[in-house]
Structure 1
Amino acid sequence: MGDLTTRRLVLEAWRERHASDLRRMSADERVMYHLGPGAWSAEYAARRHVRALRHWAEHGFGWRAIRSRADRAFLGLVSLGRPSTPLEGVAEPALEIGWCVEPAAWGRGIATEAAAAMVAEAFERVGAETVIARYRPDNIGSARVAAKIGLRTFTDLTEGDDGPVRVAVVTRADPRHLPDPPGPVSPPSDG
C-alpha cells in the first residue's frame, strides 16, 4: 500500500488520517454538486471513509488522497474501484475511476494529473483491461479531465434519481491511453 508521486502531487493510499479531510471537503456543496444528491453529512462521510479503508485492505487499491508535493496540502481525492454496475460491451476486468478536488485547486490541472496516475496504476499494477469514468453530462470539468487522460464517451445512461450519466472508457490496448502524461509517475513506495 504505497503512495504514488507525480510531478506536482503525492497520491497517498487512503488512511485513517484522511477522515477529517474527507468530512470537510464532502460537506462543501460546490465540491459535491456534480457527485450526486449534494453535500454529505458527517455520518455519511464517516461510512464512506470506512468503506474506502476496507476496500484498500481487501483489494490493495482504492481511494487516494491528493496532496501537493510542495507543502503536502490536501487537494482532493482520486478513486479506483470496481464499477457499481457492469456495462455491456466493456472489456473485463474493468475498473472505475473518479476524482474530487478542493475548489482552491480547480483549474490547475490537479484532477488531470492525479487521474492520469490512477489510470496508469489501473493498467500497470492492478491489471485492468478497461478503465471507466461516470460523470454528469453538464460537468464540463470532468468531461475535460476524462478526455485529457484518454477516455472517450462510450454511452449515456440514466441511473436512479441522479439523472443522466455519461460513461467514458479507455482500454489498455487503446493508443490514446495517456496521450500526454502530465509528469512522471513513480512506483508505489512503502508508506
Structure 2
Amino acid sequence: MTFTLGTDRLLIRDWVEEDTEAALEIYGSADVSQWLSPAIDKVGDAATMRVILQAWIEAQPNFVVPAGRWAVVRQEDGEVVGGLLIRLLPPYEEDLEIGWQFRPTAWGNGYASEASRALMKWAFEEGSTDELFAVARPNNKRAIATAVRLGMEWVGETDKYYDLNLQVYRIRASEFKAIKL
C-alpha cells in the first residue's frame, strides 16, 4: 500500500530508493545531522544513504498507523525537500514523536510546518493517537519555532529520550482541531 498525502505545495509519500541523492542532501548535511535525535553522525555517502533508505522502506509496512517515515516532495518541481517521521519515543515506547528534517536549501519556506500540519491531521484522524510530541535540543531554534508554529505547547525538559537533554513539546488531538488551519 502506497502512502500519499498532499498540501497546496507539497506531497508526503513513502521513500523510494531513487530518493537516495535527495535524502543525502538532508541527512548528509552537518546543519541537519547535528540536531538529530538520537544523536547520529551525518550520512557520509550515497551508498550509506541507500542502505538507510532500504531499511526505512523495508520497515514501513510493519509500522502501526500512524507511525512511519516519509519523503516530502515539492509539487511544483518534484524535488524531495525533506523527511517526516512519526515514531515511538524511548524508553517506554508510549509517546509518539513527530519529527521533520529538511535540506538547508529548503529552509525558510514554511515547508516543515505545512507538511507536519498535514501529517498531524492525518495521524489524529487515521491513527489511534490522541497526542503527539516533538523533541528538540535546547539550542535548535528552528525546530522549537516549528513546534510552536504547529500549536505545540512546551511541557518541559528531559533527558529520558535518547539520553539527550531535550525540550519537549506536545499537542493533543482536541487542541489541534481547535487550531484554525
Residue 179 of structure 1 aligns with which residue? 179
Residue 39 of structure 1 aligns with which residue? 42
Query: CA 1:23 to 1:104, structure 2 compared with 1: closer, same or farther past 3 Å?
Result: closer
- SS class of match (2:145): helix
Contact 1:6 1:113 in 2 (8 A): yes
Contact 1:10 1:67 in 2 (8 A): yes
Contact 1:76 1:101 in 2 (8 A): yes
User: How high is the TM-score relative to the length of structure 2?
Assistant: 0.84
Say which of 73, 76, 79 aligns to 1:67. Answer: 73
2:179 maps to amino acid? P
Residue 59 of structure 2 aligns with which residue? 55
Contact 2:98 2:133 in 1 (8 A): yes
- Displacement of 1:47: 4.8
Query: CA 1:162 to 1:22, structure 2 compared with 1: closer, same or farther past 3 Å?
Result: farther
Contact 1:65 1:78 in 2 (8 A): yes
Q: Provide the alpha-carbon RMSD of the alignment.
A: 2.4
Contact 2:113 2:146 in 1 (8 A): yes
The number of residues matched between the two structures is: 175
- Displacement of 1:44: 5.5
| Higher RCO, Cα 8 Å, sep 6+ | 1
When structure 1 is superposed on structure 2, of 151-160 and 6-15 the one drifting more is: 151-160
Identity of aligned residues (%): 22
Question: Which 5+ residue runs of structure 1 have no aligned equivalent?
Answer: 182-191
Query: CA 1:44 to 1:129, structure 2 compared with 1: closer, same or farther past 3 Å?
Result: farther
1:150 maps to amino acid? G
Cα distance in 2 between the residues matched to 1:66 and 1:17: 14
